DNA sequence: CCCAATTTGTACGTATGTATA
DNA sequence: TTATACATACGTACAAATTGG
């Protein structure tokens, strides 16, 4: 339930509520969220507040949004494993716009970087044998 | 220069312009950006449009914002290197709110995950000897 | 220590554009 | 075609944190 006197911002409270539903499995991977308009009325806040909450959930990689369609809970796909060669270093960062477009990377999905190659972190993992 | 007829949204054009200034070094790491109010007047758009652009740049890990203070170009610190043990697997994702709070992780910074431990990707990297 | 100015954060409203069903 | 839904963009107002006098 949204409280206007809890000290926590409304969009965070909404984001927390939806995140909890996702992590608990109440909202299954791949399932559609209610529309922003519905959520705004349900929680009795403005649509902009819902959009703020959705933007944060997208940034966490929990949901994906597409114009003209309701937002969807992101579904996890099995990651392809790549074995590191001796001397290789792996780190991570957010993708550049060019990398997002090139690999079709969703919001809230980082890339793993090895050398000068970037691998979408929702589809790859690196291991040492 | 912002064009209202290019087909590209205004906030993306603003974000592209600022990103280019950061990547070119014109805006140095650690330096302060102009205020949102100034940027809105400079580009002749609403403050909300500037805030959309800033939110995306934060999501890319390029800038960090703090209430009461101007936004700042993120400064890169040297990463601590951790050597992987045989059989260990590393991947990356965005941090949970709890992880962000616990480790003081900024917006747009993923975590590297090894086992059930999460390492902020702006401070750690993993390597194979 | 307090006060005022500045700046970003939050939240509301409205309107229009564009993609999907 | 029509209705629905998210994206973009403008506006306003106030809250909260920081800075500096």
User: Could you read off the pLDDT of B12-29 as tens digits, one per residue?
Assistant: 999 999 999 999 999 999
pTM of the model: 0.95
Report how many Cβ contacts below 8 Å link chain A to chain B.
102
Closest residue to C8 by CA to C1' distance? B67
End-to-end CA distance of chain A: 48
**Are A9 and A53 spatial neighbours (Cβ–Cβ below 8 Å)?**
no
Those residues whose C-beta lies under 8 Å from the C-beta of residue B48, and which sit 6 or more positions away, are: none
Interface test with A, best of B15, B53, B61, B94 (most A CBs within 10 A): B94
- The H or E element spanning position A58 is helix A47-59
User: Could you read off the pLDDT of A11-21 as tens digits, one per residue?
Assistant: 999 999 999 99
From the CA of B52 to the C1' of C18: give the distance in Å. Answer: 19
Strand order in the sheet with B117-120: A80-83, A124-127, B89-93, B111-114, B117-120
Residue of A78, A127, A79 whose CA lies nearest to B114: A127
From the CA of B45 to the C1' of D15: give the distance in Å. Answer: 24
pLDDT at B5 over 90: no
Residue B74: predicted pLDDT: 96
For chain A, give the mean pLDDT: 96
Residue B125: predicted pLDDT: 98
The partner residue sitting opposite A128, judged by closest CB among B16, B88, B121, is B88
Q: What is the mean pLDDT of residues B53-66?
A: 97
Q: What is the DSSP letter of B66?
A: E
User: Could you read off the pLDDT of B74-84 as tens digits, one per residue?
Assistant: 999 999 999 99
User: Could you read off the pLDDT of A44-95 as tens digits, one per residue?
Assistant: 999 999 999 999 999 999 999 999 999 999 999 999 999 999 999 999 999 9
What is the b/e burial string over A83-118, where b = at least 16 CB atoms within 10 angstroms of the residue's CB? ebeeebebbbbbbbeebbeeeebbbbbbbbbbeeeb
**Nearest residue on chain A to B126, alpha-carbon basis:** A90
* Residues of chain A in Cβ contact (below 8 Å) with chain B: 16, 19, 55, 59-61, 79, 81, 84-97, 107-112, 121-122, 124-129
Q: Locate tokens 């580009």: which residue?
A: B43
For chain B, give the mean pLDDT: 96
């Amino acid at each position: 339930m949204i409280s206007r006197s809890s000290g926590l911002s409304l969009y965070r409270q909404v984001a927390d509520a939806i995140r909890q539903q996702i992590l608990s499995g109440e909202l299954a991977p791949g399932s559609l969220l209610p529309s922003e308009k519905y959520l705004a009325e349900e929680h009795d806040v403005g649509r902009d507040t819902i959009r703020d909450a959705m933007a944060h959930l997208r940034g966490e990689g929990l949901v994906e949004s597409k114009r003209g369609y309701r937002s969807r809970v992101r579904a996890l796909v099995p990651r392809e494993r790549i074995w590191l060669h001796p001397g290789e270093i792996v780190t991570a960062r957010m993708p550049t716009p060019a990398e997002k477009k090139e690999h079709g990377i969703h919001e809230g999905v980082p890339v793993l970087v090895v050398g000068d190659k970037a691998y979408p972190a929702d589809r790859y993992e690196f291991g040492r044998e």
